[in-house]
Structure formats: structure tokens, C-alpha cells
């Protein structure tokens, strides 16, 4: 029966007596891959119960540790809308992952099922879609997760194979919306909407078409493999994949989006033939994207385009389309009144925020972590968010998409081929291309490429949007990082008393100075971020503030 099944699964994967505590945090559970068995099995149980709670809607489990070293692994639960697991379930996930023995685990599940009114014993259906990245421990852990799902009687586990994280999010969302949801469907949608955007590039721009050579750093992971698989079907681009995951290179080692954004140097796998070309970099599970350009073959430095600049490019493109559509009607009304939301975190480079404000946009700030950004973006007709590290997307509300659809059919009966019609078509194709569930390096990259072609922009034009303020990040080890409590989207400290005043005192000595501290959600450290008008000044501001934190 149900009790026996849960006890049996828990007994198969006992936590080590001195094991570290798991915390669901900003990115699920992570640890050394070989030690992940118990947490993964229990996450499988959580996912099955979540699906049961939602009347059998599909829920997802991804086995990945993103940009972490190859020996690590992790598990993340995808909620039925394709987003992150609902935050009010995190305490349950934590409690289950940390249950010291099978009996404790059983009691926690029974109590939670009772509180949440989830019927156990097979009378309620549940389905969980599972996927993993290319890590060597992935196959074992996926199997463990399946065992966890199957410990909930009546739950069905479906192994979707080796996928990028955003592909699985996309599949869960599509399936629950009754849309086509296979990997082939994902690729068709991405490839078709990209082609559609290229077809809508104004003719005068095509004449001086930008260089179509694009070099992609696949981080030796799943994103590189998938891109190799489909690149021949992507129109209008000459894609070359480095660190494709097929060769000898090690996952995320001196390559990938996290490395490129943090170290700002040329990743492994690139050579003199790549100098000067537009390069994109994915992280190990392909949910982060940054761009860069190698300055010269005798120099390891790069010109970096981070998530903030990707966001700024998308903002310009979307605003331009809205302005074209909204050429006011004859009564002076806007044709398509649109609530357009731009969302950043405190880590967004101050120059990007100034740029957005200068073009008349309001920027909303949330705490760090996709779950906060995404939730805020959902409040708008079009909501866009990016973290500086390259995770982000553009969300279109269902209502807005249906307005766009009726507009395009209205325009096409009256004024097919008009600029308004084309602008509405571009936004529709954008909503098809960019992943509506979560940040997605592959589809984000194709949107970047489409927008650059639309604008007839080179990489340099894009770089020149604004100049990043020099910044510095430090990690400080403290006894209890959660003794620091922040407010105002993490931009100010409210506890311990007096710390914010000390930080303010330091900032006042620097021109363009900005600095904040917060406990990390994924590491046992306090992070210090500082910005100032020179590298030296940013370094020194960060160091001085770090001393107040220690
Ligand atoms: P923490 O450790 O809470 O700072 C980090 C990143 C986040 C996000 C999460 C999840 C920074 C400063 N923080 O969070 O942006 O990506 O990991 O992976 O990059
Ligand atoms: Zn990732």
C-alpha cells in the first residue's frame, strides 16, 4: 500500500547520518552528484504530490546543476505552469529532503497530504515529466527520481531524456495548455518563428545585412549538443559551435555563460579564427545566455554583452513595434494600449537602468532569483526580465496575444503588408520564439539574432548602447549569513542595526558609487556588490564594505 511504498523508497536511499542539510533555495537542491540520491528521490515524491494536488496536471523534474562543476548535480521541480515550483511548497520540499529516516519521511508526507487535502492511495492521478542534462551522474539520478515518483501510488513518470532545462519547462507548460509538447514541436516552433522574424526584416536592412557568422560556446553541455543537432535547419545564420559537448572538453570548465560573464576572459575552445566575430555563450543547462567578442588573438580580454544589454536590445525592439502599431487611430486613441513592464534586480548594471530610464521606461526591482522576476513580469501585457548573468525572457499575457491575433487578422483584411500589420506579426512571432516558461539560451539567442538583423546592427552598435559601469563582486564568509536582513529589493540592509549607515558612509566617498550586500541563496556566503566610475574605485568600495560585513 501507499505507506509501504514510501517507506520502501526512503529505505533505498537513506541520507548519510552526518549529511549536510538541503535547502531548496533559488535553484533547487544541489550537491556532489554521488550524494544527491536521497534528495532526488524525495524531490520525485514532492513532484508527484504536486501533480496530484493539481488534479493530475503534468509537473516536471530536471536533474541538473546548471553552471556548477561537472562533479555536482542537482534537482529542480517545474510547476504545472512551466515555471518554478510554487514557493509555498518549498518548506515541504525542504522538510522532506531533510527527513532523517523513513518513518519521519512517511509522517511528513501523511501530514502534508492531509493539510493540503491530497488523497493518497491511487484514487488521484499524477504525472511527472523528467529530464536531465549531460552530467555523468544524471542517468543514475534520473532513475532515482523515477523511483521517488513511483513511490506515490497512481503517479506516472515519463522520462523525456536528455534536454536543456528550458526545453523541459516548455514541455510541461505546453502539455498543460493542451498544445503540442514534444521535442520536435519545440524545435519546429523555435525554427519557424525565427524564420518568420527574418522574413519581416525591412528590405532596406537586408541590403547591408550584418555578418551572419555566429560562434556559440556550448559549455560542453546539452545546449551545444542540441544546437549541433538543429543548426542546419536555422535559416539565415552560419552557426559554428565550440565546446559542443561532443569532444573532450569538460562541462562548464573554463567555458560557458557563467565563466564568461564572471571572468570576462576568452573561454577555452576558442581560437584566433574567432577573433572579432559575434560569439554567444550558454551555461551547462542552456538557461543562461551572454554574448562576447574576442578583442585580439594576443589578448585574453573580451567585450562582454551581459543579460542587461540583451534586455535593453529586446526593450528597444518591442517598444519600436508597439510605437508602429500605436500610430494613433483617427480619434487619437492608442490602437493597442499596452502595459509594458521591465524588471531587473539590484545586480543590474547601473548604466543599464539609467539607459532604460532615459528612454522613458520605468524599471521595477525584485529580489535576486528568477522566481521573483518571473512573478513580477506576469503582471504585464508584455513583461521582460533579465538577470545580469543572462537568465531572462519576455512574457506575453494570453489576453495580449489574442489581441495581437485579432489585430493581425484585422490589418490583413484592411491593410495587409502595412507597417502596422508587420509590427504586430513581429510581436506575435516573438511571443512564439521566446520561451514563455523560463529563460532559454537557444531561443533567446535567436531573438537577439533576429533583432540585430531587423535593426541592421553590428555587435559594436549593440555594445555602444551604453557603457557598463565598472563593478566588483566579493563573497564574505560569515558565521550566520542570515543575520543580514535586507529590504527594498535587497538594495538596503535593515539588520543588523547600523550596517546600512556604514555602507552609506563608504558610498559617499565614491563618484557614481553604489553598493549593497545580501546573503546568497545558493552558497553559504554574503555577497557584496559595488559599482563606481573606475575598476579601482569599484574594487576599493567593495573591499571597504566587505570589512564592515565580516
Ligand atoms: P545567489 O547565490 O542567491 O546570489 C545566484 C545568482 C542568481 C541566480 C541564482 C540561481 C548572482 C549574483 N546570483 O543566486 O542571479 O542565478 O544563483 O542560479 O549571480
Ligand atoms: Zn543554468
Q: Is residue 514 part of a domain?
A: yes
Nearest CA to ligand 1 atom 16: 369
Q: Average pLDDT in the 11-29 region?
A: 86
User: Range of 512's domain?
Assistant: 471-549
In a domain, 35, yes or no: yes
400 Cα–ligand 2 center, Å: 29
158 and 227 housed in the same domain: no
DSSP conformation class of 322:
H
Q: 67 in ligand 1 pocket by Cβ < 6 Å?
A: no
Kindly report the CATH number assigned to the domain that includes residue 324: 3.40.120
- The percentage of the chain sitting over the pLDDT mark of 90, rounded to a whole number, equals 89
Whether 208 has a pLDDT exceeding 60, the answer reads no
Q: CA 142 to CA 63: how far, in whole Å?
A: 7
309 lines ligand 1 (CB under 6 A): no
Same domain membership, residue 486 and residue 381? no
Ligand 1 nearest-atom number relative to CA 391: 16
Q: Are the C-beta atoms of residues 304 and 260 closer than 8 Å to each other?
A: yes
Check if the beta carbon of residue 443 is closer than 8 Å to that of residue 166: yes
**Residue at 185 is within a domain:** no
pLDDT tens profile 371-417: 999 999 999 999 999 999 999 999 999 999 999 999 888 766 666 67
Question: What would the mean pLDDT of 264-290 be, rounded to a whole number?
Answer: 96
Q: Are residues 149 and 218 in the same domain?
A: no
Q: Kindly state the cell numbers that stand for 433.
A: 520564439
Residue among 309, 330, 60 at smallest CA distance from 175: 60
For cell 514541436, what's the residue?
185
pLDDT at residue 229 above 90? yes
Q: Where residue 544 sits, what CATH number does that domain have?
A: 3.30.310.50
Query: On the CB side of 189, how many CA atoms lie within 13 Å of its CA?
Result: 22
Look at residue 345 and tell me whether its pLDDT is greater than 90: yes
Q: Confidence class of residue 206 from pLDDT cuts 50, 70 and 90?
A: low
Of 155-164, 342-351, 514-523, minimum mean pLDDT range: 514-523
What's the N-to-C CA distance of the chain in angstroms?
53
Quick one: 215 and 338 in the same domain?
A: no
- Among 353, 229, 370, smallest CA distance to 287 is for 370
Residue 276 has pLDDT above 80, yes or no: yes
- Give the pLDDT confidence score for residue 330 in this predicted structure: 65
Q: Decide the pairing of beta strands 471-476 and 485-487.
A: unpaired
Residue 136: C-alpha distances to residues 15, 32, 63, 141, 497 (Å): 21, 12, 11, 10, 47
Which atom number of ligand 1 is nearest to the Cα of residue 527? Answer: 4
Within a domain: 186: no
118 and 13 in one domain?
yes
Residues 331 and 292 placed together within one structural domain of the fold = no
Distance 80 CA to ligand 2 centre (A): 20
* Residue among 247, 189, 195 nearest 217 (CA): 247
| pLDDT average, residue stretch 483-490 | 96
Count of domains forming the chain? 4
Query: Which among 290, 299, 294 has a CA at the least distance from the CA of 275?
Result: 294
Ligand 1 mean position, distance from CA 140 (Å): 27
Instruction: Indicate if 11 and 71 belong to the same structural domain.
Output: yes
Contact criterion met (CB below 8 Å) for 487 and 494: yes
Helices and strands (DSSP H and E) totals, the chain? 19, 19
- 435 and 350 in a common domain: yes
Q: Ligand 1: does its nearest atom lie under 6 Å from the Cβ of 523?
A: yes
Determine the 3-state secondary structure of 196 from DSSP: helix
Q: What is the pLDDT of residue 527?
A: 97
CB of 76 sitting under 6 A from ligand 1: no
Encode pLDDT of 419-445 as tens digits. Answer: 899 999 999 999 999 999 999 999 999
The reported pTM is: 0.95
Q: Which of 429, 463, 497 is the C-terminal boundary of a domain? A: 463
Per-residue pLDDT at 27 = 83
Angle at 373 between CA 282 and CA 56, to 5 degrees: 90
Give the whole-number percent of the chain exceeding pLDDT 70: 97
In a domain, 173, yes or no: no
* Dihedral Cα 164, 166, 169, 175, nearest 10 deg: -80
Type and span of the H or E element at 483: none
Quote ipTM for the complex: 0.97
Which residues are known catalytic residues? 66
Query: What 8-state DSSP symbol labels residue 356?
Result: H
Which of 24, 26, 306 most suits a substitution to test ligand 1, by most atoms within 8 Å of the C-beta? 26
Q: Is residue 336 pLDDT above 90, yes or no?
A: no
Asked if pLDDT for residue 1 goes beyond 70, the answer is: yes
Secondary structure class of 301 (helix, strand, coil): strand
Query: 384 and 338, same structural domain?
Result: yes
pLDDT at position 404, please? Answer: 95
Q: Which position has the grid cell 513580469?
A: 377
252 CA to centre of ligand 2 in angstroms: 10
For residue 60, give the CATH number of its domain: 3.40.120.10
β-pairing, 485-487 vs 492-495, is: antiparallel
What gap in Å lies between CA 206 and CA 228, rounded to an integer?
Answer: 26
Burial class (CB in 10 A: 0-12, 13-18, 19+), 1: exposed
DSSP β-ladder status, 302-305 and 289-294: antiparallel
Exposure letters 59-94 (e unless 16+ CB within 10 A, then b): bbbbbbbbbbebebbbbbbbbbbbbbbeeebbebbb
pLDDT exceeds cutoff 60 at 207: no
- Count CA within 13 A, CB hemisphere, residue 491: 14
496 and 424, same structural domain? no
66-75: pLDDT as tens digits: 999 999 999 9
The DSSP symbol for 265 reads B
pLDDT of 21: 86
Residue that terminates a domain, selected from 447, 463, 479: 463
Q: Using the 3D structure, point to which of 254, 281, 304 is the last residue of a domain.
A: 304
Q: What does the pLDDT read at residue 328? A: 63
CB-based contacts of 405: which residues, under 8 Å, 6+ apart? 428
Query: Is the minimum distance from the CB of 27 to ligand 1 under 6 angstroms?
Result: yes
C-alpha of 542 from chain center: 27
Q: How confident is the model at residue 41 (pLDDT cuts 50, 70, 90)?
A: very high
Question: Looking at the predicted structure, is the pLDDT value of residue 327 above 90?
Answer: no
In a domain, 168, yes or no: no
Please give the number of the atom of ligand 1 that sits closest to the Cα of 521.
3
Helix, strand, coil percentages, rounded to 5, for the chain: 45, 20, 35
263 lines ligand 1 (CB under 6 A): no
C-alpha cell at 430: 516573438
Q: Tell which one of 520, 526, 530 to mutate to probe ligand 1, the residue whose CB is within 8 A of the most ligand atoms.
A: 520
Judge whether residue 226 has pLDDT over 70.
yes
Is there a domain that residue 172 lies in? Answer: no
Q: Which residue has the cell 527594498?
A: 488
Kindly state the average pLDDT of the residues 110-120: 96
Same domain, 344 and 380: yes
Average pLDDT over residues 38-43: 97
Does 178 reside within a domain? Answer: no
Per mean pLDDT, which of 17-21, 190-194, 335-339 is the most reliable? 190-194
Which atom of ligand 1 is closest in space to residue 67's alpha carbon?
18
Share the mean pLDDT of the chain: 94
For ligand 1, the distance from its centroid to the CA atom of residue 261, given in whole angstroms, is: 13
Question: Per-residue confidence at 331, pLDDT binned at 50, 70, 90?
Answer: low
Does one domain contain both 312 and 450? yes
Q: Which ligand is nearest to the CA of 257?
A: 2
Task: Sort 547 into a burial class: Cβ within 10 Å, 0-12 / 13-18 / 19+.
Answer: exposed
Average pLDDT over every residue of 185-194? 98
Banded model confidence at residue 210, pLDDT cuts 50, 70, 90: low
Amino acid at each position: 500500500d501507499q505507506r509501504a511504498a514510501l517507506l520502501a523508497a526512503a529505505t533505498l536511499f537513506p541520507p548519510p547520518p552526518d549529511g549536510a542539510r538541503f535547502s531548496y533555495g533559488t535553484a533547487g537542491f544541489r550537491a556532489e552528484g554521488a550524494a544527491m540520491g536521497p534528495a532526488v528521490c524525495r524531490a520525485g515524491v514532492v513532484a508527484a504530490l504536486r501533480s496530484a494536488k493539481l488534479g493530475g496536471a503534468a509537473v516536471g523534474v530536471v536533474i541538473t546543476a546548471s553552471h556548477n562543476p561537472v562533479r555536482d548535480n542537482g534537482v529542480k521541480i517545474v510547476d504545472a505552469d512551466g515555471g518554478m515550483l510554487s514557493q509555498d511548497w518549498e518548506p515541504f520540499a525542504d522538510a522532506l529532503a531533510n527527513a532523517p529516516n523513513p518513518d519521519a519521511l512517511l509522517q511528513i508526507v501523511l501530514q502534508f497530504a492531509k493539510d493540503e487535502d491530497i488523497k493518497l492511495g491511487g484514487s488521484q492521478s499524477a504525472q511527472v515529466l523528467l529530464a536531465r542534462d549531460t552530467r555523468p551522474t544524471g542517468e543514475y539520478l534520473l532513475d532515482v527520481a523515477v523511483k521517488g515518483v513511483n513511490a506515490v501510488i497512481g503517479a506516472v513518470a515519463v522520462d523525456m531524456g536528455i534536454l536543456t532545462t528550458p526545453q523541459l519547462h516548455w514541455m510541461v507548460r505546453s502539455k498543460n495548455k493542451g498544445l503540442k509538447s514534444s521535442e520536435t514541436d519545440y524545435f519546429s516552433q523555435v525554427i519557424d518563428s525565427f524564420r518568420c522574424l527574418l522574413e519581416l526584416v525591412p528590405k532596406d536592412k537586408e541590403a547591408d545585412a550584418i555578418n551572419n557568422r555566429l560562434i556559440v560556446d556550448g559549455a560542453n553541455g546539452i545546449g551545444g549538443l542540441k544546437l549541433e543537432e538543429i543548426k542546419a535547419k536555422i535559416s539565415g545564420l552560419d552557426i559554428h559551435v565550440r565546446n559542443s559537448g561532443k569532444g573532450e572538453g569538460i562541462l562548464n570548465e573554463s567555458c560557458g555563460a557563467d565563466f564568461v560573464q564572471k571572468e570576462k576572459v576568452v573561454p577555452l575552445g576558442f581560437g584566433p579564427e574567432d577573433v572579432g566575430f559575434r560569439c554567444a555563450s550558454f551555461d551547462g543547462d542552456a538557461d543562461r545566455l551572454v554574448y562576447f567578442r574576442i578583442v585580439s588573438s594576443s589578448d585574453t580580454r573580451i567585450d562582454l554583452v551581459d543579460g542587461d544589454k540583451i534586455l535593453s536590445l529586446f526593450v528597444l525592439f518591442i517598444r519600436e513595434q508597439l510605437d508602429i502599431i500605436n500610430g494613433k487611430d483617427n480619434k487619437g486613441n492608442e490602437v493597442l494600449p499596452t502595459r509594458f513592464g521591465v524588471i531587473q534586480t539590484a545586480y543590474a548594471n547601473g548604466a543599464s537602468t539609467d539607459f532604460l530610464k532615459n528612454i522613458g521606461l520605468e524599471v521595477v526591482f525584485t529580489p535576486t532569483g528568477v522566481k521573483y522576476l518571473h512573478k513580477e513580469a506576469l503582471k504585464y501585457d508584455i513583461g521582460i526580465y533579465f538577470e545580469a548573468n543572462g537568465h531572462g525572457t519576455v512574457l506575453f499575457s494570453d489576453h495580449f496575444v489574442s489581441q495581437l491575433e485579432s489585430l493581425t487578422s484585422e490589418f490583413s483584411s484592411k491593410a495587409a503588408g502595412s507597417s502596422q500589420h508587420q509590427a504586430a506579426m513581429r510581436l506575435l512571432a516573438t511571443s512564439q520564439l521566446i520561451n514563455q516558461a523560463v529563460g532559454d539560451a537557444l531561443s533567446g539567442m535567436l531573438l537577439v539574432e533576429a533583432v540585430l538583423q531587423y535593426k541592421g546592427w553590428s555587435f559594436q552598435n549593440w555594445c555602444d548602447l551604453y557603457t557598463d559601469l565598472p563593478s566588483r563582486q566579493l563573497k564574505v564568509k560569515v558565521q550566520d549569513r542570515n543575520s543580514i536582513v535586507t529590504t527594498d529589493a535587497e538594495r538596503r540592509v535593515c539588520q543588523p542595526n547600523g550596517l546600512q549607515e556604514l555602507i552609506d558612509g563608504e558610498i559617499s566617498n565614491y563618484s557614481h558609487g553604489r553598493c549593497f550586500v545580501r546573503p546568497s541563496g545558493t552558497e553559504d556566503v554574503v555577497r557584496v556588490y559595488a559599482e563606481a566610475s573606475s575598476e579601482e574605485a569599484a574594487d576599493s568600495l567593495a573591499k571597504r564594505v566587505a570589512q564592515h560585513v565580516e
